Amino acid sequence: MRDRLLAAEKVKAIDWRDGALYLLDQRALPSRESWVACVTVEDVAAAIRSMVVRGAPAIGISAAYGLVLAARERIGEGGDWQAAWEEDYALLADARPTASNLFWALKRMRDRLDRVKKHADPLAVLEAEAIAIHESDREANLTMAQLGVELIRKHQGNAQAILTHGNAGALATGGVGTALGVIRAAYLEGMVEQVYANETRPWLQGSRLTAWELAGEGIPVTA
């Protein structure tokens, strides 16, 4: 199941490459796929604040990468870079006060910095930690998907209609999604006949995002 789910993975909202963070602009979906490049911590904070990226896990991952960008700039400036880095930490924390994963990811990055040994490269350590946060969320999504399929199989083995609310898919996480990850896995097992994507306002995540994700993978969906 894990390999089949990974093979079917088509949607990615977060991409860290060449020292920059690229975010799929969720404000533009489903009419167009547009990526926003973030090369500074201010860029990341603005993207979180303006809903370029949304969903608590995705926000936390993005903020972790934002602290990497902040460290790179502060170290380059010299002086007491960690004190200045704390200002960037606060900037990201203020970007979305309601996102619990945001504060969890920021704290994990700060705790990792506190454990950096004197001879270590702090920028490399922070980048590795941000990537680890990203990868751990992806793995958690896969585990949830597999457990969810077993739960559906236990209670209802036949193909069925499933109702989902808002968007808890790949757009909101670092992997295949939480609730939508389960739905994706169940569909691969022949246990989903139809998905009904309920609405969430004011951003209309059901019709704009969930339906777009599922339709792109050939999963029958009505919004």
What pLDDT, on the 0 to 100 scale, is given for residue 136? Answer: 97
**DSSP assignments along the chain, one per residue:** -HHHHHHT-----EEEETTEEEEE-TTTTTT---EEEE-SHHHHHHHHHTTSS-SHHHHHHHHHHHHHHHHHHHHHH-SSHHHHHHHHHHHHHTT-TT-HHHHHHHHHHHHHHHT--TTS-HHHHHHHHHHHHHHHHHHHHHHHHHHHHHHHHHH--S-EEEEEES--BGGGSSSSBSHHHHHHHHHHTT-EEEEEEE--TTTTHIIIIIHHHHHHTT--EE-
Which residues of the chain fall short of a pLDDT of 50?
A: none
Q: Do 148 and 192 contact (CB within 8 A), yes or no?
A: no
Q: How many whole angstroms separate alpha carbon 166 and alpha carbon 203?
A: 9
> ∠ CA(212), CA(213), CA(218), 5° rounding?
95
The label of the residue with tokens 């004190």 reads: 83
| Ordered domains of the chain (ranges, CATH) | 2-137 (1.20.120.420), 145-222 (3.40.50.10470)
The DSSP bridge partners found for residue 21 are: 16, 38
- Backbone phi, psi, residue 190, to 5°: 75, 25
Please tell me the predicted confidence (pLDDT) of residue 219: 95
The tens digit of pLDDT for each residue in 30-53 reads 999 999 999 999 999 999 999 999
pLDDT score at 157 = 61
Q: How does pLDDT run across 173-190, given as a tens digit for each residue?
A: 999 999 999 999 999 999
Amino acid 201: pLDDT: 78
How high is the pLDDT of residue 122? Answer: 96
Give the pLDDT confidence score for residue 74 in this predicted structure. 97
